[in-house]
Amino acid sequence: MSEDRLRALLRKEPLPGAAEAKRRGLALVERAYAERRSANRPVLPRLAVALAAAALLAALLLSPAGAAVRSWIGDVFTAGVRNARPALTEVPGGGRLLVQSSRGPWVVQPDGSRRLLGRYEEASWSPHGLFLAAASGRTLSAIEPGGTPHWSISAAGPVSDPRWSPSGFRIAYRAGHSLHAIKADGTGDHLLGQAAPIAPAWFQLGTHLLAYVDRARQLRIAETDTSRTLASTAATAGVTTLGWSADGRFLLELTPHGLWLRRLRLDKLADRIRLGAARRVPLPAGVVRAAAFAPRRHTIAVLLERRGGAGAPHSEALLIDAGGGPPRRLFAVSGRLSQLAWSPDGSRLLLAWPAADQWLFLPVRQEDHLRAIGNIASVFSPGHAGAAQLPQIEGWCCPPAPSGSG
Amino acid sequence: MGAEVSERKLIREAQRGSGEALAALYAMHWPRAQRAAYLVVHDAAAAEDIAQEAFLAAVDGLDRFDRRRPFAPWLHRIVVNRAIDWGRREALRAGGGEPEERAAPSHADEAAGELMPALAQLPPEQRAVVVLRYLLEYTPGEIGRMLELPRGTVNSRLRRGLDRLRDLIEVEG
């Protein structure tokens, strides 16, 4: 076959549905162009008005007169943030995202390009983003962000909640009702105990301490290398999520109806940890949809859902200092937000707005701007017929990697 | 030369807010972008997504685009790199085998032509250089710069790809 023959074949190969694809593409591109042109002109005043309206809403909803303005604010926000970018062409603030779709986990690069890792049911970052721990059926795997598997092990039960230790040298995971720890090279797998269906949380300061809730609903802190329990107490009723502050001083228990914090003190002489009593964090009435410690110190971001008079959901993102003090309200919308993740440097929060099919990149500092990106669901469900669901945000990665660690 | 001047003018007008200019740029470049993606990924829906993403990236970067440079290589670079990523990912999902070992996709049978089943036997990286060379008419040096590969690697991939295609497609010309 000559080169000319190959050229001819490449040019005449039929493209299925080419005309329809061209029309759809043009409509999308023209919409993106129009939105970008309009966003480039008055975006700052309009965004400022929108954010001011959100702040006003939040203030008014806490007042007896709140009901009177709720519908007005709803008109502004229920369709999502206006001027949202129509496509994921960058991660505002940088870093890489890990999201879980119905097709598997995806890694999103800073330029918005993304890669489906394979048929894994869940995954989580290693501390510096060099690897991911991924679960599929009864198999736990360590894979590169490009999808290349490094090792896999088989477990006695379905693997879930893999969590890489901040040191990079251990992975904790659940296998059925059992909680295990394994070295990051895939060796040394061992049982820690029986666990409730709640993801374990690693101590953030290097030592291999793991907080988990056992099947008797005891909150335990275990030293994973020796399988010793260093502290144990009754877990807060209804706990669904555990979190450990970056400075190691606080343990968070999240339930749908509130947040509880415990202070921790390491008793070096007794080689034990003292777990303080659970203290409920004062919050406005509502359902806590998500909460997470910031990557530094002990600030907590909380996603709170409240109900208006007509029953419409209203969501607020709050910042709380675990050491005390009133919540700081960052953002409020009439609508239901569902997820929350901190940026690696702690400067932004990523929130999901399912009804608007948007991700919101919310700055923690007031001098920065809110960035919204739309059309998220379909991006992670290519070829999906009908309405796709927003993917689950699993993590936003990562601080720079020191040499020799994961 | 005339086409280059025309393209520069369209880019300038699109940067100034002309939707008609953007539509003209789209009409000029979409067919080859979509075709290139399709010939690498062998999946019409994925090719459409990839071409769309490339154009959306173009819209996003339009204000910063240097009008002295041609538009097509910039667009094709995005298209082909994303198509390669897609192909690698699908090869992994298909069962963890190396791309060279994967079976031909079903689309190859549907196309009922001789090209697609043969191309499907090449790994995505080889398909990409074949498409860049013989559909989009880039030189090996240009392909190397687009894919961040040494020119020798491009040449060897082209040679291996052509040899394989010759074996698979009946000689007619």
CB contact under 8 A, A10 and B134: yes
Q: Quick one: residue A337, left, alpha or beta (phi over 0 = left, psi -120 to 50 = alpha)? A: beta
CB contact under 8 A, B63 and A18: no
From CA B43, how far away is CA A16, in angstroms rounded? 9
> What are the structure tokens assigned to A46, written together?
């309009």
| Residue A143, strand partner residues | A132, A149
Judged by DSSP in three states, B45 sits in: helix
Nearest-CA distance from A135 to chain B in Å?
15
Note the pTM of the prediction, 2 decimals: 0.58
How many helices (H) and strands (E) are present in chain A, helices listed first? 5, 29
CB contact under 8 A, A13 and B44: no
Task: Identify the helix (H) or strand (E) that includes residue B41.
Answer: helix B19-41
Judged by DSSP in three states, A7 sits in: helix
**Burial class of residue B73 in the structure, from the number of CB atoms within 10 Å of its CB (0-12 exposed, 13-18 middle, 19+ buried):** middle
Q: Spell out which residues of chain A touch residue B113, defining contact as CB-CB under 8 Å.
A: 9, 13-14
Instruction: Give pLDDT, residue A253.
Output: 96
Query: Any residues with CB less than 8 A from the CB of B118 and at least 6 apart, and which?
Result: B164, B165, B168, B169
pLDDT under 50: residue ranges of chain A: 41-78, 401-405
Nearest chain A alpha carbon to B58: A29
Judge whether A244 and A236 are in contact, CB under 8 Å: no
DSSP assigned state of B49: H
pLDDT, one tens digit per residue, over A278-291 is 999 998 888 899 99
Closest CA to A294 of A364, A229, A361, A360: A364
> What are the structure tokens assigned to B78, written together?
């995005």
ipTM of the prediction: 0.85
Instruction: Give pLDDT, residue B65.
Output: 81
From CA B54, how far away is CA B35, in angstroms rounded? 13
Instruction: Give pLDDT, residue A78.
Output: 45
Judge whether A198 and A177 are in contact, CB under 8 Å: no
Percent helix, strand, coil in chain A, to 5, is: 15, 40, 40
pLDDT under 70: residue ranges of chain B: 1-5, 89, 91-112, 170-173
Closest CA to A341 of A257, A398, A286, A281: A398
Instruction: Give pLDDT, residue A49.
Output: 42
Instruction: Give pLDDT, residue A42.
Output: 41
Instruction: Give pLDDT, residue A218.
Output: 95
CB contact under 8 A, A118 and B165: no
E strand spans, A117-267? 122-125, 132-136, 139-143, 149-154, 159-164, 170-175, 178-183, 190-194, 201-202, 209-213, 218-223, 228-234, 241-244, 250-255, 258-267
DSSP calls for A52-88: HHHHHHHHHHTSTTHHHHHHHHHHHHTT--TT-BSS-
Instruction: Give pLDDT, residue B102.
Output: 31
